[in-house]
Amino acid sequence: MLYPEKSIFGELKSNQQYEYLIDAPIFNDDIDIKDVAALESFFQSKGYILEKHITLLLNYVTYHTRYFLANGFDNPLTSAYRFQCCRAANINSEFLEKIGMEVKQFNIGDMMGTNPIHELCEVWIPTMVDGKLTQKRYILDPTFRQFCIKEENRFERYNESPRYSVRKSTPHPAYFLNLSEQGIRLAKDIIRYGYFEATPENIKLYFDSFYYYLKDKESYEDQSKVGKEYISPISSQEYDSKLEKCEDKTHQMKSGLKIITPLEHITLERNKLKYKIKHMLTGKDEYQGSLDLDSDSGIKL
């Protein structure tokens, strides 16, 4: 299992406080840090990573971020991660940028021309597709589960007082994603993995849910459609254009953490005296990952 069962404060107990309209198990499969370090080394050497390894990298990034968000007091597997989006985006941005990825940190409120709502991280990952160097784009949102709390995703929210920074009497984004099978599938994937590929279909589904989160019932010309629409008049291309114009906050806010990449971690470990002695005696390297890198990578950790 990826997450520890205990912290320095003792056994991590379930902090399940909420019922969710949409939920999914948090990704908790084992990840070998040596494999991620090998991937990082490959990227430094080649300038890209293989397409089949992108999920390995992003799964580790999300784990790394959620682990620090929990901070020993919270259970990463059951947390709603409420009000932690900014810190999550800070950690994601710093980690990916330190590896050498192109990153942008932004707020959905800036996209939509309203108050700050939800802080995210966007990353472009160089990879090879059909023998050609290209970039795949992903949106990282490891705290999305906070928008799936059942209490905040009722139709009755339209008739209740405004809450939080959005200052609207509306259900949260999960309410609108829950209106379609595609939306439910996307929401579950984001909850589980903490990121999604920025395809046109995903971009529209995801940001449409925030579009309607900002649309109170007085804004509907046809009142019979209140709480029933989930496809906005904004295209994925228009969302991309809005996102491109957003201010990049990558260097404006810091997590306060000393970010250590997997390759740095392995390097620090292998410099310890006991590992040096073992290497001298056996001639074996304890840090060779099992990742299936291509044959000309030249990676020897």
pLDDT in tens, 124-144: 999 998 889 999 999 999 999
Output the average pLDDT for the chain. 88
Instruction: Decide which of 36 and 292 is more confident.
Output: 36
Supply 292's token pair.
């299936």
Give the C-alpha separation, 119 to 109, whole Å.
Answer: 8
HSE-CB of 179 using CA atoms within 13 angstroms: 21
Residue 47 falls in which region: left (phi positive, over 0), alpha (psi -120 to 50) or beta:
left
- The confidence score (pLDDT) of residue 296 equals 35
Domain ranges of the chain: 15-245
Give the C-alpha separation, 265 to 281, whole Å.
Answer: 23
Pairing assessment for the beta strands 102-107 and 10-11 based on DSSP bridges = unpaired
pTM summary value = 0.88
Give the residue-averaged pLDDT of 88-110.
Answer: 96
Contacts 24+ apart (CB under 8 A), 119-123: 119/85, 119/86, 119/88, 119/89, 119/249, 120/85, 120/89, 121/88, 121/89, 121/92, 121/93, 121/96, 122/198, 122/243, 123/92, 123/96
Output helix, strand, coil percentages for the chain, rounded to the nearest 5: 45, 15, 45
**pLDDT(34) > 70:** yes
- The confidence score (pLDDT) of residue 301 equals 36
Residue 161 falls in which region: left (phi positive, over 0), alpha (psi -120 to 50) or beta:
beta
| Neighbouring C-beta atoms of residue 92, cutoff 10 Å | 29
- The confidence score (pLDDT) of residue 164 equals 75
Give the C-alpha separation, 41 to 52, whole Å.
Answer: 16
- The confidence score (pLDDT) of residue 102 equals 97
Contact 161, 177 (CB under 8 A): no
Give the C-alpha separation, 284 to 281, whole Å.
Answer: 8
